[in-house]
Amino acid sequence: MTSKRNIVIGATLAALLVVLGTGQSLLTKVAAQSASTVMAPKFEVDPNWPKPLPNQYQLGQTIGVAIDANDHVWIVHRANPDEVEAGADNGTAGCCHVADPIMEFDQAGNLLRHWGGKDGPGYQWPASNHGIWIDYKGNVWIGGNGNGSDGMVLKFTQDGKFLNMFGIKKQGLGPDSLAEDRFYLVAKIHVYPKTNEAFISDGYGNKRVAVIDADTGKMKRFWGAYGNKPDDKLDLGAYTPGAPLAKGFRGPVHCAEPTADGIVYVCDRTNDRLQWFTLEGKFLGEIQVQPESKGDGSTWDVDFSKDPAQKYLYVADGRNQRIHIYDRKTMTELTNFGSGGHYPGQWYSLHSIAVDSKGNLYTTETYQGRRVQKFTYKGLAPVTRRDQGVPWPTSTGQ
Amino acid sequence: MKRKPVMYLGATSLALLIAGGVGLIVSEHAVSAQAPAGGAAPARGAAQGGATTPARGATGGGGAPSYRVNPLWPQLLPNHWVLGAVSGVAVDKQDHVWIVHRGADSLESAEKAMILTPPTSFVCCVPAPSVMEFDSAGRVLASWGGPGLGFVWPQSTGGIAVDGDGNVWVAAFGLEPAPAGRGRGAAAADPDAVGPPAARGRGDAPAAAQAPARGRGAAPAAPAAADAHITKYSPAGQQILRIGTPGQPGTPDSQTGLNRPAGMAIDDAAHEVYVADSGNHRVAVFDSNTGAFKRSWGGSGDRPTAAGAGPYDPNGAPGRQFRDVTCVKISKDGQVYVCDRSSNRIQVFQKNGQFIREMVIAKNTKGAVTTIGQAPGVVLNASGSVWDIAFSNDANQRLLYVADGSNDVVRILRRDSLTEVGHIGDGGRQPGRFLAVAAVAVDSRGNLYTGEVHHAKRVQKFAPAAAAAAPATGNN
Number of residue pairs across A and B with CB atoms under 8 Å? 259
Counting residues of chain B whose pLDDT is more than 70, the rounded percentage is 71
pLDDT number for residue A308? 97
Cis, peptide link before residue B124, omega less than 30° from 0: no
Q: Searching chain B, which residue's CA lies closest to the CA of residue A371?
A: B429
What is the band of B368 on the pLDDT scale with cuts at 50, 70, 90?
low
Measure the CA–CA gap between A321 and A226, rounded to whole angstroms: 27
A52/B428 touch (CB, cutoff 8 Å), yes or no: yes
**B 347-376: CB under 8 A from A:** 362, 365-370, 372
A95/B82 touch (CB, cutoff 8 Å), yes or no: no
B166: left (phi over 0), alpha (psi -120 to 50) or beta: left
B366/A91 touch (CB, cutoff 8 Å), yes or no: yes
Measure the CA–CA gap between B134 and A146, rounded to whole angstroms: 44
Residues of A in contact with B427 (CB under 8 A): 56, 58, 85, 95-96
Longest dimension (CA), chain A: 72
Whether residue B379 lies within 8 A of chain A, CB to CB, comes out as: no
- Which residue among A93, A322, A392 places its CB closest to the CB of B72? A392
Q: Which of A149-153, B25-29, B184-188 is predicted most confidently?
A: A149-153
pLDDT number for residue B397? 98
Secondary structure E strands in A5-158: 39-46, 57-58, 61-67, 73-78, 97-98, 102-105, 111-115, 129-134, 140-144, 150-156
A342/B429 touch (CB, cutoff 8 Å), yes or no: yes
A87/B118 touch (CB, cutoff 8 Å), yes or no: no
A392/B408 touch (CB, cutoff 8 Å), yes or no: no
Q: Searching chain B, which residue's CA lies closest to the CA of residue A84?
A: B368
- Which residues are paired to A364 by β-bridges? A352, A372
Residues of B in contact with A321 (CB under 8 A): 121, 123-125
Measure the CA–CA gap between B324 and A93, rounded to whole angstroms: 18
Question: What is the number of alpha carbons within 13 Å of residue A107 lying toward its C-beta?
Answer: 11
Q: Does the pLDDT value for residue A150 go beyond 70?
A: yes
Q: What is the mean pLDDT of residues A130-138?
A: 98
Predicted structure pTM score: 0.86
Q: Searching chain A, which residue's CA lies closest to the CA of residue B112?
A: A340
Residues of A in contact with B47 (CB under 8 A): 54-55
Whether residue B30 lies within 8 A of chain A, CB to CB, comes out as: no
Q: Residue A159 contacts by C-beta under 8 Å, 6 or more apart in sequence?
A: A113, A115
What is the band of A85 on the pLDDT scale with cuts at 50, 70, 90?
confident
Nearest chain B CA: its distance from A343 CA (Å)? 8
Nearest chain A CA: its distance from B170 CA (Å)? 24
Nearest chain B CA: its distance from A213 CA (Å)? 37
pLDDT number for residue A34? 52
CB B405 within 8 A of CB B411: no
- Any idea what DSSP says for residue A245? P
Q: What is the ipTM of this complex?
A: 0.89
Angstrom CA distances, B449 to B114, B375, B455, stand at 29, 34, 18
Nearest chain A CA: its distance from B415 CA (Å)? 23
Whether residue B119 lies within 8 A of chain A, CB to CB, comes out as: yes
Tens digits of per-residue pLDDT, B14-63? Answer: 333 333 333 333 333 444 455 544 333 333 333 333 333 332 223 344 56
pLDDT number for residue B313? 86
Whether residue B313 lies within 8 A of chain A, CB to CB, comes out as: no
Type of residue found at B238:
Q
Mutate to test the interface with B, among A2, A16, A289, A368 (most CBs of B within 10 A): A368
Question: What is the number of alpha carbons within 13 Å of residue B193 lying toward its C-beta?
Answer: 27
Residues of B in contact with A296 (CB under 8 A): 110, 120
A396/B382 touch (CB, cutoff 8 Å), yes or no: no
A371/B430 touch (CB, cutoff 8 Å), yes or no: yes
Q: Residue B98 contacts by C-beta under 8 Å, 6 or more apart in sequence?
A: B88, B89, B90, B91, B92, B131, B132, B133, B134, B160, B162, B168
Type of residue found at B3:
R
Tens digits of per-residue pLDDT, B230-258? Answer: 999 999 999 999 999 999 999 999 999 99
Q: Searching chain A, which residue's CA lies closest to the CA of residue B344?
A: A93
What is the band of B194 on the pLDDT scale with cuts at 50, 70, 90?
very low
Whether residue B307 lies within 8 A of chain A, CB to CB, comes out as: no
- Which residue among B25, B44, B110 places its CB closest to the CB of A394? B25
A342/B456 touch (CB, cutoff 8 Å), yes or no: yes
pLDDT number for residue A303? 98
Q: What is the mean pLDDT of residues A60-81?
A: 95
Tens digits of per-residue pLDDT, B321-355? Answer: 998 899 999 999 999 999 999 899 999 999 999 99
Whether residue B384 lies within 8 A of chain A, CB to CB, comes out as: no
Q: Does the pLDDT value for residue A373 go beyond 60?
A: yes
- Which residues are paired to A114 by β-bridges? A103
Tens digits of per-residue pLDDT, A96-128? Answer: 999 999 999 999 999 999 999 999 999 999 999
* Phi, psi dihedrals of residue B21, rounded to the nearest 5°: -90, -10
Residues of B in contact with A53 (CB under 8 A): 49, 428, 430
A339/B80 touch (CB, cutoff 8 Å), yes or no: yes
Whether residue B10 lies within 8 A of chain A, CB to CB, comes out as: yes
Angstrom CA distances, A10 to A6, A33, A386, B9, stand at 6, 8, 17, 12
Type of residue found at A285:
G
pLDDT number for residue B28? 39
